[in-house]
């Protein structure tokens, strides 16, 4: 039986064979497997590709000198922590590092000159009772682009594109990043609900941070930014304005499309800390499964407290939940 592989497969296969970075090679192999038709004619190809993926994963899990992995490969993966992973990208001197320093426990290098950030750095931002992981990254410009940035961007749940309102070239710097990532098959969009026609592409939900707002004395740069990128959510920030930073936290939380669910023991008061994190539209059963799969299986019903609900209302496992709902499980 013929394989009947799509044209994109052969182009991607050439890239896979030429690639030397093991993490990028792994990503390409996984994309090849994803776009390969699944039928008897491709059984051997699927098996060979799965074997290559397995070997690449083992190589990356236990790297050594004989594999020849480049040092930069270590920078393109940061383990996810907290309620969501958010990557900050932007032109040189846009203020990513100063934001990270102001919002997290991380200590990035903050200077008045560009290109000070050479490697990604993660820190935890606290919003209400949840922690959200922010990642500081090297700048993206015509003079500098780190190859690991593509994979680092792909893995994040949300992209924050930081725009420096202190310079008249802020729009050009942002547009360059849109174009550069498009070259890497990463499409920045206000929402990531649609799937690209070409499976090799990745759509990432993106918001724009209009940073250093007080350096835009008459608001002209902010106005032009809004006109040029009208479809995107734009958040104004300044490290000297706590209200703007608090608003930034709130908008990041909303953009992640997640909700906080608190649990209480029967007959006891709720403790508002360490909530269960669910996607918007999450259910009682999904919350129970996060605690333990067996717990969800044994669940008889739950009682729920929250806005728009009767206190202690008895609900079934398919009941939808809202942000800050409180659940009491009964098994």
Beta pairing partners, 211: 164, 237
* Residue 251 and residue 263 in one domain: no
Residue 303 forms part of a structural domain: yes
CATH of the domain at 117: 3.40.50.300
pLDDT at residue number 152: 92
* Residue 238 and residue 276 in one domain: no
Boundary-marking domain end, from 221, 255, 289: 255
Residue 1 forms part of a structural domain: no
DSSP type of residue 91: S
Domain that holds residue 57: 7-69
Give tens-digit pLDDT for 45-75.
888 889 988 888 888 776 554 444 444 445 7
pLDDT at residue number 71: 44
* Residue 262 and residue 247 in one domain: no
If DSSP codes are grouped into helix, strand and coil, which group holds residue 314? strand
* Residue 214 and residue 110 in one domain: yes
pLDDT at residue number 74: 57
* Residue 300 and residue 242 in one domain: no
* Residue 15 and residue 30 in one domain: yes
pLDDT at residue number 102: 94
* Residue 50 and residue 148 in one domain: no
Residue 95 forms part of a structural domain: yes
pLDDT at residue number 68: 47
* Residue 126 and residue 53 in one domain: no
pLDDT at residue number 63: 54
CATH of the domain at 266: 3.10.20.30
**E strand intervals along the chain:** 85-89, 121-127, 130-136, 158-164, 186-189, 202-211, 234-237, 258-263, 276-279, 301-305, 313-315, 325-330
* Residue 248 and residue 199 in one domain: yes
Q: Tens of pLDDT along the chain (331 residues)? A: 567 788 888 888 888 888 877 877 888 888 888 888 888 888 888 888 899 888 888 887 765 544 444 444 457 789 999 999 999 999 999 999 999 999 998 887 666 655 656 689 999 999 999 999 999 999 999 998 988 899 899 999 999 999 999 999 999 999 999 999 999 999 999 999 888 877 778 999 999 999 999 999 999 999 999 999 999 999 999 999 999 999 999 999 999 999 999 999 998 999 999 999 999 999 999 999 998 888 888 889 999 999 888 889 999 999 999 999 999 999 8
* Residue 307 and residue 160 in one domain: no
Residue 114 forms part of a structural domain: yes
pLDDT at residue number 213: 96
Residue 193 forms part of a structural domain: yes
Count how many domains the chain has. Answer: 3
pLDDT at residue number 223: 96
Residue 276 forms part of a structural domain: yes
Boundary-marking domain end, from 255, 286, 311: 255
* Residue 83 and residue 212 in one domain: yes
List CB contacts of 44: < 8 A, sequence separation 6 or more.
none
* Residue 135 and residue 232 in one domain: yes
Residue 128 forms part of a structural domain: yes
Residue 2 forms part of a structural domain: no
Residue 185: both structure tokens together: 């098959």
Boundary-marking domain end, from 234, 255, 276: 255
């Amino acid at each position: 039986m013929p394989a009947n592989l799509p044209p994109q497969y052969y182009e991607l296969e050439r890239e896979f064979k030429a690639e030397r970075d093991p993490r990028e090679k792994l990503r390409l192999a996984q994309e090849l497997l994803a776009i390969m038709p699944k039928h008897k004619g491709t059984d051997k190809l699927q098996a060979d590709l799965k074997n290559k993926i397995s070997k690449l994963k083992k190589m990356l899990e236990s790297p050594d000198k004989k594999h020849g992995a480049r040092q930069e490969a270590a920078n393109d993966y940061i383990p996810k922590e907290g309620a969501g992973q958010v990557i900050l990208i932007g032109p040189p001197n846009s203020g990513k590092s100063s934001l990270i320093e102001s919002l997290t426990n991380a200590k990035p290098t903050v200077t008045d000159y560009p290109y000070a950030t050479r490697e990604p750095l993660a820190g935890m931002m606290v919003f209400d009772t949840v922690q959200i992981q922010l990642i500081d990254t090297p700048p993206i410009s015509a003079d500098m682009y780190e190859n690991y940035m593509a994979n680092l961007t792909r893995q994040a749940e949300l992209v924050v594109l930081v725009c420096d309102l202190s310079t008249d070239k802020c729009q050009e710097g942002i547009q360059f990043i849109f174009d550069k990532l498009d070259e890497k098959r990463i499409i920045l969009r206000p929402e990531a609900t649609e799937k690209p026609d070409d499976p090799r592409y990745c759509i990432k939900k993106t918001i724009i941070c209009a940073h250093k707002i007080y350096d835009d004395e008459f608001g002209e740069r902010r106005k032009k930014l809004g006109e040029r990128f009208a479809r995107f959510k734009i958040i104004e920030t300044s490290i000297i304005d706590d209200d703007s930073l608090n608003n930034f936290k709130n908008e990041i939380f909303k953009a992640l499309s997640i909700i906080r669910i608190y649990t209480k023991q029967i007959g006891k008061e709720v403790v508002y800390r360490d909530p269960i994190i669910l996607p918007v539209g999450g259910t009682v059963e999904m919350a129970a499964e996060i605690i333990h799969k067996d717990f969800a299986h044994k669940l008889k019903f739950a009682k729920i407290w929250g806005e728009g609900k009767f206190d202690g209302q008895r609900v079934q496992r398919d009941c939808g939940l809202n942000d800050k709902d409180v659940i009491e499980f009964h098994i």
